[in-house]
Amino acid sequence: MEKSKVKELADYVHNAEKENKEILKITAELYPSLSIDEAYLVQEELVRQKLEEGYQITGPKMGITSEAKMKQMDVDDPIYGYVFDNMIVEEGDSISISDYIHPKVEPEIGFILGEDLEGPGVTTLDVLRATEHVFPAIEIIDSRYENFNFTLPDVIADNTSAAGAVFGTCLRKPEELELDVVGVTLSINGEVQSLGAGAAVLDHPAKSIARLANMLSRKGEKVKAGQPILSGGITAAVRLSPGDFVSAKYGGLGDVSFFVK
């Protein structure tokens, strides 16, 4: 793909994000043949533009991590993107719905590594050995595409719908928990909207981090120690409305909440 096309597509998605304006997916008209590799080039350009604007990467995130969603999209690999510092919402704080297009939330287990992990060949066990802490998190996703309607390359180019992250303060050593059977409920205004267990994420959330390390190794990158990493949604994502009090409660891993204005 021509460099000018990569830039045009990154600009297209980036402008939609900056203006909170939904757009038609790239593959609808602009570039129907967008491949997964090309989509990561567009994502890289988008990331470069954000860095150039002065934002910092907080950490990577994994998406499409449930077998059901991978089957639905007919893919074998989950996808990755990046959470930026301007997306972070403090625990207990409020977001304004007008800062987003059509935001949804999903509960996730976050990881902080004590040492870098470089693929290929990284295993779930390698991740557990390298993990300093796990923590509860809520990811806010806000696809820039109309009605969250996209193909896999579209969503990769759109930085995997990354729009926000709320990190809980409960830090646990991975050996203190069985992460695959850690349960979570996601509630809005005290009513449970969805629930699940860590195993919804590729059978084990640490496996998702291993997949991330192995995917990043294809472009000579690694998963870095000290960065908060989102391992993937445990439940279906839930749409937000003004007035919502959003809370995710984890078995043995505390809870995390925020308000929507």
Applying CB under 6 A, does 159 fall inside the site for ligand 0L1?
Answer: no
When CB distances are held under 5 to 8 angstroms depending on the partner's kind, the choice from ligand 0L1, Mg ion, none that residue 155 binds is ligand 0L1
147 and 25 Cβ atoms separated by less than 8 Å: no
When CB distances are held under 5 to 8 angstroms depending on the partner's kind, the choice from ligand 0L1, Mg ion, none that residue 255 binds is none
Closest to ligand 0L1 by CB, 67 or 176: 67
14 and 136 Cβ atoms separated by less than 8 Å: no
Structure tokens of 167? Answer: 């990190």
Closest to ligand 0L1 by CB, 128 or 201: 201
Secondary-structure percent of the chain, ordered helix, strand, coil, rounded to 5: 35, 30, 35
Name the residue among 44, 41, 47, 212 with its Cα closest to residue 118: 212
Sequence-distant (6+) residues with CB within 8 A of 133 are 111, 112, 171, 172, 173, 174
Name which position in 43, 161, 187, 235 contacts ligand 0L1 (CB under 6 A). Answer: 161
Closest to Mg ion by CB, 15 or 149: 149
CB of 137 to Mg ion, least distance (A): 9
Closest to Mg ion by CB, 110 or 233: 233
Q: Which stretch binds ligand 0L1 (CB under 6 A): 20-28, 153-161, 210-218, 252-260?
A: 153-161
CB of 66 to ligand 0L1, least distance (A): 8
Give burial (CB, 10 Å; 0-12/13-18/19+) of 218: exposed
* Cα(127)–Cα(84) distance, integer angstroms: 23
Residues 89-118 that bind ligand 0L1 (CB under 6 A): none
Length of the chain: 261
Positions in the binding site for ligand 0L1 (CB under 6 A): 61, 63-64, 139, 141, 143, 148, 155, 160-161, 232-233, 237
